[in-house]
């Protein structure tokens, strides 16, 4: 009888500042634990258990100076793993074990202006070094695969597309306007939802300009902005001041609260300029929310024909997309139906199965 494949899965990115990489690490790890034929050894950096144990900068320095250079490989060997999987761009300094790495985007090549000069250089170094050392590189979309091949010069046969999944907790629940009003101050009127972080590529300023146009035809509508804890951009601050109380900012929310918001919104708007994948549209669809999304990067591949795609640089086009949903019950109902069907293709169990296939390919390459 064949023995279980032992996989050393690096859990350090679960504590990443990037919500996407953190969620990917946690959810894929859990799905791999349910996958037949695999035993997962979760490799954890010292002091990575929680933010209260050590200051973030100290934990980060520890990972950079000791965990990745020496401890990760040493622990993997001690636990007799067959392959190491690093779900972020940080990899062991050296290892004799087969290595699989996940590359989430190549933004430092495509849009270096979004980083400091040092930050872009560091990201390019980390991603290129990880990609060149790995036997197999996982990406979440065909778009990212092409970018990695074209911009970083990676051989296409070493890159495997493994779409992400939507966690089972994301499913439609009956809207509760009283609870939404009590918890977030959302009035019992239609609301448009944005979920993200206030990075320039998330394009929130353009959405705010578009929402000002929507308010002319749907003055009862409000915009709920989730995930923004502070404003550091002057243009963004001006747009928020101009829209006043029509924008509600609950900050960060729990997954259960996010499910309630997805289930209740008139539509999710996702006007990002660049995504390696982009989970919020799929999470929203799984909860029955219509989606209006950018027509750039990987987003059309993720949304498919189940949402409305708009030019994310054009406030008028974004506004038109929102109005098509908010002002038409027929369009809204059709998008809700198509979105739920489309989102069912994306599961973490399927992601785990494709990932395990890549582990076997990495072992075969040795």
Rounded to 10 deg, the angle between the 255-264 and 177-184 helix axes is: 130
Q: What is the pLDDT of residue 3?
A: 78
Give the residue from 9, 98, 38, 100 showing the smallest Cα distance to 363.
98
Give the whole-angstrom CA distance, residue 263 versus residue 266.
9
What percent of the chain shows pLDDT beyond 90? 79
**φ/ψ (deg, to 5) at 282:** -70, -40
pLDDT band at 228 (very low <50, low <70, confident <90, very high): confident
Between the CA of residue 144 and those of 131, 271, 299, 315, what are the distances in Å?
Answer: 13, 18, 11, 26
User: Helix (H, G, I), strand (E, B), or coil: what is residue 70?
Assistant: helix
Helices H, strands E: what count in the chain?
Answer: 15, 12
Distance CA 305, CA 342 (A): 8
Mapping DSSP to helix (H, G, I), strand (E, B) and coil, where does residue 75 land?
Answer: helix
Bridge partners of 222?
Answer: 191
The C-alpha atoms of residue 222 and residue 238 are separated, in whole angstroms, by 17
The residue with tokens 């059709």 is 334
Tell me the domains of the chain and their CATH numbers: 5-165+347-365 (3.40.50.2000), 177-343 (3.40.50.2000)
Q: Using one digit for the tens of pLDDT, what is the confidence trace for 314-325? A: 999 999 999 999
58 pLDDT above the threshold of 50 = no
Helix axis angle for 204-217 and 315-326, nearest 10°, is 50
Please give the residue that has the higher pLDDT: either 224 or 2.
224
Q: What is the mean pLDDT of the chain?
A: 91
Cα distances (angstroms) measured from residue 115 to each of 21, 122, 273:
18, 10, 15
- In the three-class reduction of DSSP (H, G, I as helix; E, B as strand; rest coil), residue 247 is classed as strand
**Cβ atoms of residues 185 and 213 within 8 Å:** no
Question: Residue 55: what pLDDT?
Answer: 53
**Residue 321 phi/psi, 5° resolution?**
-65, -45
How confident is the model at residue 2, as a pLDDT?
64
* pLDDT of 302 strictly over 90: yes
Between the CA of residue 187 and those of 7, 60, 192, 350, what are the distances in Å? 49, 42, 12, 39
Contact 221, 215 (CB under 8 A): yes
Give residue-wise pLDDT tens across range 236-263. 889 899 999 999 999 889 999 999 999 9
168-216: pLDDT as tens digits: 999 999 999 999 999 999 999 999 999 998 888 999 999 999 999 999 9
What pLDDT score was predicted for residue 78?
94
What is the tens place of the pLDDT at every residue in 78-124?
Answer: 999 999 999 999 999 889 999 999 999 999 999 898 888 999 999 99
pTM for the complete prediction?
0.90
- Could you give the CA distance from residue 270 to residue 310 in angstroms, rounded to a whole number? 10
CA distances to 44, 86, 256, 312 from 51, rounded to whole Å, are 14, 21, 22, 36
Binned at pLDDT 50, 70 and 90, residue 60 comes out as: low
pLDDT band at 351 (very low <50, low <70, confident <90, very high): very high
**Has residue 1 got a pLDDT over 50?**
no
Cα-to-chain-centroid distance, residue 17: 12
**Closest CA relative to residue 204, chosen from 294, 135, 276, 82:** 294
Distance CA 285, CA 268 (A): 9
Q: What is the pLDDT of residue 93?
A: 86
In this predicted structure, the answer to whether residue 53 has a pLDDT above a threshold of 50 is: no
How long is the chain?
Answer: 366
Please give the Cα distance from 106 to 124 (Å, whole number). 8
Average pLDDT on 16-39 reads 89
């Amino acid at each position: 009888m064949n023995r279980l494949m032992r996989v050393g899965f690096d859990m350090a990115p679960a504590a990443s500042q990037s919500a996407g990489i953190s969620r990917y690490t946690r959810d894929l790890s859990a799905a791999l634990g349910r996958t037949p034929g695999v035993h997962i050894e979760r490799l954890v950096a010292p002091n990575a258990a929680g933010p209260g144990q050590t200051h973030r900068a100290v934990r980060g320095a520890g990972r950079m100076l000791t965990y990745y250079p020496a401890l990760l490989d040493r622990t993997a060997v001690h636990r007799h793993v067959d392959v190491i999987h690093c779900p972020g761009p940080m990899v062991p300094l050296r290892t004799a074990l087969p290595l699989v790495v996940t590359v989430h985007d190549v933004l430092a090549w495509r849009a270096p202006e979004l980083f400091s000069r040092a930050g872009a250089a560091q990201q390019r170094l980390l991603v290129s070094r990880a990609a060149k050392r790995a036997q197999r590189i996982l990406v979440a979309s065909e778009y990212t695969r092409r970018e990695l091949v074209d911009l970083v010069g990676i051989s296409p046969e070493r890159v495997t597309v493994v779409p992400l999944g939507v966690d089972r907790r994301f499913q439609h629940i009956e809207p509760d306007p009283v609870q939404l009003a009590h918890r977030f101050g959302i009035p019992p009127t239609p609301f448009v939802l944005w979920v993200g972080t206030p990075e320039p590529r998330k394009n929130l300023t353009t959405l705010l300009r578009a929402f000002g146009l929507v308010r002319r035809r749907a003055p009862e509508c409000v915009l709920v902005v989730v995930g923004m804890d502070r404003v550091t951009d002057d243009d963004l601050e001006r747009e928020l001041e101009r829209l006043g109380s029509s924008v509600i900012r609950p900050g960060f929310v729990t997954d259960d609260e996010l499910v309630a918001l997805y289930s209740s919104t008139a539509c999710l708007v996702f006007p990002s300029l660049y995504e390696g994948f982009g989970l919020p549209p799929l999470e929203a669809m799984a909860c029955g929310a219509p989606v209006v999304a950018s027509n750039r990067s990987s987003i059309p591949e993720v949304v498919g024909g189940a949402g409305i795609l708009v030019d994310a640089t054009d406030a008028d086009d974004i506004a038109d997309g929102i109005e098509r949903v908010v002002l038409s019950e027929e369009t809204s109902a059709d998008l809700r139906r198509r979105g739920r069907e489309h989102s069912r293709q994306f599961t973490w169990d399927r992601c785990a199965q494709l990932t395990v296939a890549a582990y076997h390919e990495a072992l075969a390459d040795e």
